[in-house]
C-alpha cells in the first residue's frame, strides 16, 4: 500500500516538475522545478528497491547539478531584457504552433507503435515471485572502497578539477 502511494506521488512529482520546466519562462523557477522532478525520480528509484540509486540521485543530481545551475545563473547575472549584447532581439518562444502539433503527432505515433510492440510480450506474461528486499548500499559501499577504489579516487580528482575550473571561470577579470 505504501509503495503504491509513493509510486503515484513520485510519478506525479516527476510529470508536474518536468512540465513546469518546459513551460516556465523564469530560469530560476525552471531550476527549482527541475529539482522537484529529480526528487520524484529518486522516489521512483526507492519504489523499485534501488536505494543506492535513490541516494545517488539526491546527492549528485538534486544536490549537485541543480545547485551548480543556480550558481551559474546567479554568477552570470542574466539580464531582464530580450536583447543580447549586440542589440539583436531574442526570440522568446521555442517553437511555433506548427512545431508543437507535429511533435504531438509524432509522440502519439511512437507511443502507439511501442504499445503495439509491447502487446505481444504482455500476452505471454506470467507473474513470478519477487525476491526478498535487501539493501544494496552496504554492498556497493564495500565494493567502492575495496575492489574499485582506483575508479572512486579518479572520480574525486575529476570533480575537484571541475570545482577549481568553475572557480577560475567565475572570478572577476583584472583590467
CA 25 vs. chain centroid, Å, equals 19
Q: Strands of 23-142 (E only): list them.
A: none
Residue 70: partners with Cβ closer than 8 Å, 6 or more residues away:
28, 31
104 falls in which pLDDT band (50, 70, 90)?
Answer: confident
Domains identified in the chain and CATH numbers: 1-77 (1.20.120.1200)
Cβ contact 58:45 at 8 Å: no
15 falls in which pLDDT band (50, 70, 90)?
Answer: very high
Q: Which residues of 130-151 are buried (b: 16+ CB within 10 A; e: fewer)?
A: eeeeeeeeeeeeeeeeeeeeee
Whose CA is closest to 65, among 161, 168, 159?
A: 159
- What is the average per-residue pLDDT within 41-57? 87
- How does the average pLDDT of the chain come out, rounded? 80
**Nine cell digits for residue 36:** 522537484
Residue 19 pLDDT: 92
Rounded to two decimals, what is the model's pTM?
Answer: 0.55
Residue 41 pLDDT: 92
Residue 69: partners with Cβ closer than 8 Å, 6 or more residues away:
31, 34
| pLDDT above 80: residue 62 | no
Amino acid at each position: 500500500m505504501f509503495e503504491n502511494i509513493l509510486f503515484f506521488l513520485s510519478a506525479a512529482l516527476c510529470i508536474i516538475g518536468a512540465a513546469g520546466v518546459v513551460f516556465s519562462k523564469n530560469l530560476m523557477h525552471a531550476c527549482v522545478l527541475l529539482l522537484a522532478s529529480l526528487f520524484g525520480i529518486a522516489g521512483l528509484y526507492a519504489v523499485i528497491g534501488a536505494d543506492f540509486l535513490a541516494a545517488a540521485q539526491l546527492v549528485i543530481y538534486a544536490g549537485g547539478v541543480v545547485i551548480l545551475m543556480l550558481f551559474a545563473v546567479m554568477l552570470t547575472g542574466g539580464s531582464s531584457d530580450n536583447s543580447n549584447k549586440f542589440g539583436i532581439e531574442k526570440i522568446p518562444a521555442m517553437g511555433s504552433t506548427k512545431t508543437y502539433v507535429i511533435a504531438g503527432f509524432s509522440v502519439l505515433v511512437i507511443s502507439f507503435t511501442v504499445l503495439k510492440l509491447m502487446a505481444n510480450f504482455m500476452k505471454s506474461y506470467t507473474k513470478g515471485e519477487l525476491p526478498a528486499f535487501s539493501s544494496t548500499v552496504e554492498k556497493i559501499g564495500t565494493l567502492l572502497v575495496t575492489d574499485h577504489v582506483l575508479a572512486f579516487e579518479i572520480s574525486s580528482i575529476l570533480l575537484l578539477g571541475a570545482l577549481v575550473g568553475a572557480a577560475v571561470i567565475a572570478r572577476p577579470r583584472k583590467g
